[in-house]
Amino acid sequence: MQNLKRDYKIAPSILSADFARLGEEADAVLAAGGDMIHFDVMDNHYVPNLTFGPMVCKALRQYGITAPIDVHLMVEPVDDLIEQFAEAGASYITFHPEASRHVDRSLQLIESAGCKAGLVLNPASSLDLIKHVVQRLDMLLLMSVNPGFGGQKFIPATLDKLREARALIDASGRDIRLEVDGGVNLETLKSVAEAGADTFVAGSAIFNAPDYADVIGQMRQQLAEV
What's phi and psi for 63, nearest 5 deg? -70, -25
Give the 3-state secondary structure of residue 24.
Answer: helix
Q: Least distance in Å: CB of 38 to Fe ion?
A: 6
Of residues 180 and 195, the one with the C-beta less far from Fe ion: 180
Select which of 43, 70, 181, 198 is catalytic. Answer: 181
Tell me the chain's radius of gyration from C-alpha atoms.
Answer: 16
Q: Which of 30, 32, 38, 90 binds ligand 5RP (CB under 6 A)?
A: 38
Which residue stretch of 19-27, 76-84, 199-207, 215-223 sits at the interface with ligand 5RP (rule: CB under 6 A)?
A: 199-207
The sheet with strand 9-12 has its strands ordered as: 9-12, 199-202, 177-181, 139-143, 116-121, 92-95, 69-74, 37-42
Of residues 86 and 145, the one with the C-beta less far from ligand 5RP: 145
Q: Which of 28, 184, 216, 223 binds ligand 5RP (CB under 6 A)?
A: 184
What's phi and psi for 183, nearest 5 deg? 70, 20
Of residues 97 and 182, the one with the C-beta less far from ligand 5RP: 182
Query: Which amino acid does the sequence have at 82?
Result: I
Query: Which amino acid does the sequence have at 49?
Result: N
Residue 96 contact, options ligand 5RP, Fe ion, none, Cβ 5-8 Å cut-off depending on partner type: none
Residues 45 and 73 sit within 8 Å (Cβ to Cβ): no
How many Cα atoms within 13 Å fall on the side-chain side of residue 90? 30
Active site residue 40: yes
Q: Which of 25, 70, 181, 198 binds Fe ion (CB under 5 A)?
A: 181
For ligand 5RP, the binding residues (CB under 6 A) are: 13, 15-16, 38, 40, 72, 145, 147-152, 181-184, 201-205
Residues annotated within a binding site for substrate:
13, 72, 148-151, 181-183, 203-204
